[in-house]
Structure 1
Amino acid sequence: MEAPKNLNRLKAVLADASQTNKWLAEQLGKDSVTVSKWCTNTTQPDLHTLARISELLKVNLESYWLTATIGNIMTYDEYLSCAKKHLKGCKSLMDSYQSGKPTDMHVWLELYYISGYILEGLTVYSAYKLYNWPVNEDIKRRYNIPFTNATGIDFYYNRIINGNEIFPGRSVNSLSVQGHRFQDIIKSKLRSNPSFNDLPYIGNGDIDQDVEHLIDNWSPDVRYCYLGQNNPIPILNQDVIIRLIDTCNKIYVNHI
Structure 2
Amino acid sequence: MSRGHHRILSAIGIGCYVLAAIVALYLPADDFGPSLLVPLWIAHGVLLAVLLVKLGAGESALSAALLVVGASVMAVYVADTAREDLTLERRGERVVATVVREWRSSTRHTYDYTLALHDGTKVPGPALRATSDRYDVGQTLTVIEDPEGEIGPVTPGQADATGDVLAAASFALVALGAVPWTAWRGAVAVRRREARGRRDEQEHMLREALRTASPDAHGYLEVHPGHYPDVPHPRADSIAWEMGLKPDTPGSWRFRR
Same fold (TM over 0.5): no
**Which has the larger Rg?**
2
Q: Give the TM-score normalised by structure 2.
A: 0.28
Greater strand percent: which structure? 2
